Chains A and B, each alone.
Chain A
Amino acid sequence: MQNFSFSPGKRPGGERPRKTHRILMKVQVGVIVILLSSLNLLHAGTVRGQDLRNKKVTLEFHDATVAAALDQLHKQAGVRIGYALSVTQSPKKINLQRATLTLSAAMDTILYKTGLDYSFQNQMILIFKKQVRGGWNTQQARFSSSIQQDKTTVTGIVTANGGKPLIGVTVALTSDRGNIYGSSNAEGRFKLSVAAGLYDLELSFVGYRPFSKKVHIADTSEVSLGTIMLEEGSTNLNDVVVIGYGVISRKNNTGSVVSIDSKTIEQSPVTDPLAALQGRIPGLQISSSNGFPGSSYTVRIRGTNSLEGSSTSGANQPLFVIDGVPFITEPLNQFTGANGTQSPLASISPSDIERIDVLKDADATAIYGSRGANGVILITTKKGQSGKTKVAVNIYTGASKVTRMPEMLNTEQYLALRRDGFAHDSIDANEQNAPDLTTWDSKAYTNWPERLIGHTAQFTEAQGSVSGGNQQTQFLLAGTYHHESTVLASPYSYDRGSVHMNLNHQSGDGRFKINATVGYTADKNNILAYDISQYYNLAPNMPIYDSSGNFYWFGNIQNPIAYLDRGYQSKTDNLISNALIQYNLLPGLDLKTSVGYTKTTMDQIITMPERTFNPSSGVPNQAKYGFSEVHSYIIEPQATYTHKIADGTLQLLAGGTWQQQISEGHSLSGTGYPGDSQLDNMQAASELSVLNYNYAQYRYTSAFGRINYNWREKYIINGSFRRDGSSRFGPNNRFGNFGAVGAAWLFYEEPFVTEALPFLSFGKLRGSYGITGNDRIGDYSYLDSWQTVSFPYGGVTGITPARLYNPDYSWETNKKIEIALELGFLRNRIMLNASYYRNRSGNQLIGYTLSPQTGFDNIIANLPAEVENKGWEFELNTINFQQKHFNWSTSFNISLNKNTLLKYPGLEGSSVQYDYVIGQPLDVVLGYKFTGIDPKTGLPQFLDANKDGSLSQLDDYVVLGNKSPSLYGGLQNTISYDKWSLNFLFQFVKQDGPGLNYGYLSTPFGTLTNFGEEALNRWRQPGDHTEIPVSTTTSATQAYSLFNTYYRLSSAVWEDASYVRLKNVSLSYNLSAVVEKWKLKECSIYFQAQNMLTFTGYKGFDPETQGSYLPPLKTYTIGIRLSL
């Protein structure tokens, strides 16, 4: 029986005990065993095992190999040592100054970092390979305990940094003899009972860095391990990162993956989890489209790859996967509201998220095949934890205001500008062309930005959870309620409630496991139908109401206060459920199936009472109703196999996917209601017509595999492959192959590195290359079909050809290459990661321009256009202070991306010839080069780029800039002192963008709209040197036409939109010691702020959203967190 340790590379414990004997007998035949014996054997034989461990021996090694060292030990101590021949091939060189050690300490020294372990058995030392821990630990523990006779009680205390005891920490003592688990009690004490020997002590607790240490448990009745302090934080090389269909330690990962955990997400008082990621992850650029609740975010991982679609379309969106199930991020809106489209991710409560992993390079994303081109964001929701039942409550409340407001002219300054314009134009102001100067009150003043969006919003969230369980079964039940109002004058609000449940179970022998999660969220977004921020520039003395109290109207100027009476409501219900079922069939071989089902519905309504329309337009009251639904299921059977080959570990993954998604929706428009109060009632409409009906089915199937070989934790190679089929492509091109190879070299343990760079505590060089795809185009585009027309004709609903069809187009392909260096210094207190990547997207799927004589503008086709994204990412994490009462760590990240359109055959003459420029980024913006104001006339002047004597759009455009940041990043500090802890994050972005006066909606200085304070610097008289043109009011003037034709599309109004933002501040005070007497385990109060300060030279609203959209909000909250 004792011989079972002789089977190197095998996992005896994985077998059922009854069979063990027979299998081991066979194994012995195949293994060469050398027994070092000597004349001293007989003497040694008389020594008891316990004494043998403590036997003293004097040793000295100089560059000794393991074999040589063991040989010396054998000779010195006169003990038999048994091992397989292959273990002596360890390249480790042992150096030891002459010392006297116990035998066990000597063994620890020799075998340190060799991947070998030993045990004392019957007066001899047996050496074998360390086990890779698998899923049958419990069984092994049971099995091995049955053969161990003498037990030692191991005790200890686990505390957090400040000395606070940690409750429910998982404590494990693992060794080849079996694994013993326990957890800490209310005082942080733990007690385990094990046989004497060498163990790995491992402590793990959510939100703390895992702790591991080799301990030698002596053969006495009790061993105390003292107090073990766990460090908060998440950057640890032994942390796992979640990758496609699995997890891997950060240390051994060959791909580019960045993670953030719930601890960080909890620091941000945000509605959408994406907002908590801003500034924290290199290579991930996130910007909000506006500050309304539920607004969508533009998310780019390493730039824009696809030509197809604008920033809001899905073609450049990364793939989102929640608990293994792809999440549908295309908005369901039938029509837009003030927030644009509702972000589906706003239906995920940030408090339910355990961690988010961002996969960037080919190695990490190729396992997602045709959908990995834009990177992958994996969201893992919270799971139950074993231990005493824990009830936790977190409540916070606060207030929000917009980050920034443009500074506009006051009434006096504005009217002066207007009079100036009429004077320059030499025409008279009258009631028609200048009501502001003639009929409106010249003393009246409305600060329109303040009036429209200057109010204070409320922000409240309450979370509660119960979790617990034993080693076999764990559960979590969590609920969240979220409420926020808006910065508008009217009482609009956003409410969200969510329930999250997780159940985790494993069978007694640990071979069968199931993990099931159900999340349900309902939200109700009561906002406006339109973003009224765009009316910030109304004349400051324009009346809001007329003398009889009705809305005031003039010409075609919209009264924005009337818009506040137009209701918009969207209700989203979201169900996400998934289960992972796993069975350990054979040693090293696990079979799994993940199944998921998600369903999202969205109901919308817009009500437009008659009073909100200018009466002269004669438009009656009306309403619109939208209904959408999308549901999908996914089944992914997988098998994983782990096996030792030579000195390395081989891990194999194979699996398949079946996925179906069906989306369906319709919208109706109603008119002719008996009264405004009936607009919500569809039945009250005298005429109801169907605006839209949409239906799409999407099916997706694949086979995927991964092979990973890790040789001595030093050389790691990882290959992944996926074959995908998608219904978005024609029958001729449904299937495509994708794959990647990644490799890592952990060089810090190489002798020559250790010698040359002794300060280096970690070093990894990794690289990858691979091909991923993009199928983010609409459904059915390959199909030859007819669709119904809008209105029936003669009682017959007509149909019309839906499109020109192309049955042959296929995937966009994205070739990614990456090389990265990861370094650790001063025992990993300083960690530096640098990566360089280059992604090239070709075979671009676009609407290929056709001559309209074909009946259509374009056809979906693959174009050999190529887009390149390349850049650098740096990440630096430092632990500046690490003391009992004071800890300070800093994280810094910076990303530089360069986007280039490398080629686009047929660009010239195509319909997009002014949208793209070869050699420039995809989102390049062209315009006229403003060369200054003529001091004599006050007229703006522009560069005649082609020197033909006249300005024309075609030939005189220059590059103004582009819409993507060239550089972005964040700087985070985490400081804890005694019971205080403080986190703050600065986010920075370098970019340019449109100023307030950019674009076709902008009108010349002096017209009937207000302007920013820059208008005060306008040209007034000959000889003025300024950058702002002369005031003008009438379209007949040259000043007017120069502004409209050139100025508003020129570099004069294109600005630097870079900014530095104090994105997040979180300050908390731990009251746990105070509340102890009330039987509360944990209590802390905290202050959190989001978007607290913004530093920028940008003159418009906010540099993140740009243009005249509601800026992001700055939010301040206070809260309390309790658990019992």
Chain B
Amino acid sequence: MLFWGSCSKFVDIDPPKNEVAGGLAFADDQTAEAAVVGMYANMNSFNYQFANVLGNILVGMSADEIYYAASFASFDEFRYNKLSVSNSYVGMLWSQPYALIYQANACLEGLEKSTALSRSVKTTLKGEALFVRSFCYFYLVNYFGDVPLILTTDYLVNNKLGRTDIQTIYDTIESNLDQAAMLLTDTYTGDAGRIRPNKSAAEALAARVALYRKEWTKAAAMATSVVDDPQYTLEANLNNVFLTTSKEAIWQLESVSPGRNTFEGNTMVPVSTPYYRLYPELIASFETGDKRLKDWIGVDSSGTTPVYYPLKYKVRVSTEVTENSTVLRLAEQYLIRAEANAELGKMSAAIEDLNVIRRRAGIEELSSSLDKAAVLKQVAMERRQELFTEWGHRWLDLIRTEKAAAVLQPLKPDWQNTDTLYPIPLDAISTNEALTQNPGYK
């Protein structure tokens, strides 16, 4: 017995040096912070992530915004709204947010259990984890509709969960964001810029969620809270909006991969011939003198017809980091408030917010006599011109305002109304009997 006792002990080994044992991840403030920061690093350490190129560019391809000039089947499926269930990028748009959700859940559970953390660290980290989880669910429901609502780390349960109604998920997002806004502080953690979400980030995302849910009053109130915060101002020079020093940024993802700045810039800034091109319809929509056309869009005139490409991020490769991938910024909040106020019948407030954006773009202010329909139309236009190639705004806007069919059908011959939702990826649906496919896919 003694022999076996000592043998059992012999095969007890120390945890690996390059890993932190589960129980120790929340044993002190530093590792707990590392666990939360790991989520942001996972979002942006590599290219083709849901939180960089996929969410910003590929989703834009589904709309009338950007396309890839060469033939590439997986991209073409986005461009022509003919997604197959085995499209690997659709798979990533599903699996990556869920991987982050797992990590957020693991952080929330770890923080909950831990008794060793200082109160302020625990509070902030919990707010950040709730924020990240809400952020991921926001995109999941907008890409895929009803999705499984996973709030724990128990894979045995999670592996079999079916879809949850979108409104239930939105309720969770809303209450989590409200809680996050209470837990987070106005100031940004650390001194590396606006790279970890703060209270305003939670409010900004809450404003967007309220807008999507047509909760106009809440949307306007949340947006106002951000707009009124003196630490945010619109950058007068459009070339400064996506810099690491941007005063307009509410939340950015830090550029961490060596030799690059943002993956967006690394991907879209052309070496010679631009491959990522903007739709001519978008270019044509800009009014004369719009600085956004001049400062945020590049043109290649070497061919017979000029080719336009996005140039919000200007650095393709550089060891010096000047740009960060911007997730939430102030201009969107003005546009959210404008739309909410218009829906609430407050036209002049709405028009004033639109004019803030237009003044910065160097174009004429709107007439104060526009009616609700005209204002809403102008909101859609400004959103399209201001937020292109950012986070699929155009695609999600067309869907939430139910204009997708009308706008996209003329451009995309195979358009079907079921294309507004992406298919549940094959490897998700084939491994979970409880999942059903979205209509229009097989």
Chain A interface (Cβ within 8 Å of chain B)? Answer: 616, 618, 656, 658, 664, 671-672, 686-687, 689, 693-703, 725-727, 731, 734-735, 779-780, 783-802, 804-805, 849-857, 859, 909-911, 1035
Question: Are B95's CB and A787's CB within 8 A?
Answer: no
Closest CB of chain A to B4's CB: distance in Å? 8
Q: How far is the CB of B33 from chain A (nearest CB, A)?
A: 6
Q: Which residues of A contact B432 (CB under 8 A)?
A: 851, 853
Choose among A697, A701, A855 the residue with the greatest number of B CB atoms under 10 Å from its CB.
A855
The answer to whether A785 and B11 have CB atoms under 8 Å apart is no
The segment out of B49-57, B190-198, B222-230, B392-400 that lies at the interface is B190-198
- Flag whether B13 is at the interface (Cβ < 8 A): yes
A783-B21, A799-B25 in contact; A794/B196 too (CB < 8 A)? yes
Neighbouring B residues of A703 by C-beta, 8 Å: 3, 7
Closest to B6 in A: A701
Q: Are A701 and B10 in contact (CB under 8 A)?
A: yes
Q: Which residues of B contact A785 (CB under 8 A)?
A: 15-16, 19-22, 25
Closest 3 CB pairs of A and B: A855-B102, A798-B38, A784-B22
**Stretch from B115-123, B167-175, B251-259, B378-386 at the A interface:** B251-259
A-B contact pairs, 26 of them (CB 8 A): A664-B17, A672-B319, A695-B17, A698-B13, A700-B11, A726-B11, A780-B16, A785-B15, A787-B19, A790-B41, A790-B46, A790-B256, A792-B256, A793-B38, A793-B256, A794-B192, A794-B196, A799-B31, A800-B103, A850-B431, A851-B158, A851-B427, A855-B158, A859-B155, A910-B430, A1035-B71
Name 19 extra pairs, CB < 8 A, besides A701-B7, A791-B45, A792-B256: A687-B259, A687-B319, A695-B18, A703-B3, A783-B16, A786-B20, A787-B20, A789-B41, A789-B45, A796-B33, A797-B34, A798-B41, A799-B35, A852-B95, A853-B159, A854-B155, A854-B158, A859-B155, A910-B430
Q: Which chain B positions have C-beta within 8 A of A790?
A: 41, 45-46, 256
**Would you call A794 and B195 a contact (CB within 8 A)?**
yes
Please measure, in the bound complex, the distance between the C-alpha atom of A804 and the C-alpha atom of B106, giving whole angstroms: 11
A845 to B201, CA, bound (A): 44
Nearest residue (CB) in B for A796 is B37
**Contact bitstring B254-269, A, C-beta under 8 A = 1, else 0:** 1011110000000000
CB of B148 within 8 A of CB of A853, answer: yes
CB <8 Å contact, A658 and B42: no
Q: Which of B130-178 contact A (CB under 8 A)?
A: 147-148, 150, 153, 155, 158-161
In the assembly, what is the distance between CA of A696 and CA of B102, in Å? 25
A458, chain B: closest CB distance, angstroms: 41
B99 contacts the other chain (Cβ, under 8 Å)? yes
A695: chain B residues at CB < 8 Å are 16-18
Question: In this assembly, does B435 line the interface, its C-beta being within 8 Å of a C-beta of chain A?
Answer: yes
Using Cβ atoms and an 8 Å threshold, which residues of chain B touch A686?
319
Known A-B contacts A785-B21, A854-B155; A794 and B38 likewise in contact (beta carbons under 8 Å): no
Closest to A659 in B: B10
Known A671-B259, A696-B16; contact A798-B42, beta-carbon cutoff 8 A = yes
| Residue B40 CB within 8 A of the other chain | yes
| Chain B, range 265-288, C-beta contacts under 8 Å to A | 271-272
**Residue of A whose beta carbon sits closest to that of B35:** A799
- Given A785-B19, A910-B430, decide whether A800 and B11 contact each other with a Cβ distance below 8 A: no
A693, A694, A779, A800: residue with the most chain B Cβ atoms closer than 10 Å: A800
| A783 engages B15 (CB within 8 Å) | yes
B152 to chain A, nearest CB (A): 10
Task: Flag if B37 contacts A798 (CB, 8 Å).
Answer: yes
Q: Which residues of B contact A850 (CB under 8 A)?
A: 155, 159, 431
Task: Answer whether residue B298 sits at the interface, using C-beta atoms and an 8 A cutoff.
Answer: no
Known: A695-B17, A850-B159. A791 touches B256 (CB 8 A): yes
Q: Which residues of B contact A618 (CB under 8 A)?
A: 271, 317
Residues of B within 8 A of A855 (CB): 98-103, 150, 153, 155, 158
The docked-state distance in angstroms from the alpha carbon of A828 to that of B101 is 72
Q: How far is the CA of A88 from the CA of B203 in the complex (A)?
A: 102
Task: Check B425 for interface membership: any CB of A closer than 8 A.
Answer: yes
Task: Tell yes or no: B302 within 8 A of A by CB.
Answer: no
Q: How far is the CB of A397 from chain B (nearest CB, A)?
A: 46
CA distance A179 to B308 in the complex (A): 98
Q: Which residues from chain A contact B37 at a C-beta distance below 8 Å?
A: 793-794, 796-798
- Distance in angstroms between the alpha carbons of A857 and B160 in the assembled complex: 14
**Contact of B206 with A by CB under 8 A:** no
Complex Cα spacing A701 to B3, Å: 11
CA separation between A220 and B405, bound complex, in Å? 118
In the complex, what residue of chain A is closest to B105 when comparing beta carbons?
Answer: A855
Q: A734-B11, A780-B19 are in contact. Are A800 and B42 (CB under 8 A)?
A: yes
Q: How far is the CA of A752 from the CA of B218 in the complex (A)?
A: 102
Interface flag for B211 (CB, 8 Å): no
> Of all chain A residues, which has the CB nearest B96?
A852
CA distance A854 to B22 in the complex (A): 17
- Neighbour of A794 across the interface among B17, B22, B190, B425, CB < 8 A: B190
B8 at the interface (CB under 8 A from A): yes
Please report the C-alpha to C-alpha distance between residue A664 and residue B16 in the assembled complex, in whole angstroms. 10
Number of A-B contacts (CB under 8 A): 210
Q: How far is the CB of B269 from chain A (nearest CB, A)?
A: 12
Decide: A801 and B21 in contact? CB cutoff 8 A: no
The chain B residue sitting closest to A792, CB to CB, is B256
- Chain A residues closer than 8 Å to B15, beta-carbon distance: 780, 783, 785
Which residues on the B side are within 8 Å of A856 (C-beta)?
Answer: 99, 102, 155
Task: Check B202 for interface membership: any CB of A closer than 8 A.
Answer: no
Chain A hits for B36, CB < 8 A = 798
Q: Name B196's closest neighbour in chain A (CB-CB).
A: A794
Assess the A795–B10 pair: CB atoms within 8 A. no
Interchain CA distance A789-B34 in the complex, whole Å: 10
Q: Are A804 and B95 in contact (CB under 8 A)?
A: no
Name the residue of chain B whose CB is nearest to the CB of A696. B16
In the complex with contacts A700-B11, A786-B20, A853-B428, A798-B148 CB distance below 8 A: no
Q: How far is the CB of B383 from chain A (nearest CB, A)?
A: 30
Cβ B41 vs Cβ A800 within 8 A: yes
Shortest Cβ distance from B150 into A: residue: A853
B204 within 8 A of A: no
A799 touches B159 (CB 8 A): no
**A700: chain B residues within 8 A (beta carbon):** 11
Q: Which residue of B lies closest to A911 (CB)?
A: B427
By beta carbon, the residue of chain A nearest B34 is: A799
Contact status A852-B19, CB under 8 Å: no
Asked if A851 and B41 sit within 8 Å, CB to CB, the answer is no
Chain B residues with CB under 8 A of A698: 13
Complex alpha-carbon distance, A797 and B36, angstroms: 10
**Is B78 an interface residue, CB under 8 A from the partner?**
no
Closest partner residue, chain B, to A726 (CB atom) = B11
B35 touches A689 (CB 8 A): no
Alpha-carbon separation in the docked complex, A909 to B432 (Å) = 9
Chain A residues in 8 Å Cβ range of B271 = 616, 618
Q: What residues of B have a CB within 8 angstroms of the CB of A687 in the complex? A: 258-259, 319
Residues on A with C-beta less than 8 A from B256 are 790-793
Question: How far apart are A539's CB and chain B's nearest CB, in angstroms?
Answer: 23
User: CA A664 – CA B14 in complex, angstroms?
Assistant: 14
Min Cβ gap B98→A in Å is 5
A910 close to B431 (CB less than 8 A): yes
* B388 at interface, CB cutoff 8 A: no
Cβ contact within 8 Å between A851 and B435: yes
Residues of B within 8 A of A693 (CB): 18
A786 to B37 CA separation, bound complex (whole angstroms): 13
CB distance from A819 to the nearest CB of B (A): 35
Q: Which residues of A contact B39 (CB under 8 A)?
A: 798, 800
Say how far A149's CB is from chain B's closest CB, in angstroms.
52
B11 adjacent to A727 (CB under 8 Å):
yes
Question: Do A795 and B190 have beta carbons less than 8 Å apart?
Answer: yes
CA A283 to CA B161, docked complex, whole Å: 48
Q: What's the nearest-Cβ distance from chain A to residue B8, in Å?
A: 7
Chain B, Cβ-Cβ closest to A793 = B41
Contact call B98/A854, Cβ cutoff below 8 A: yes
CB pair A725 B13 closer than 8 Å:
no
Please provide the chain B residues from 60 to 111 with a CB less than 8 Å away from any CB of chain A in the complex. 71, 91, 94-95, 98-103, 106
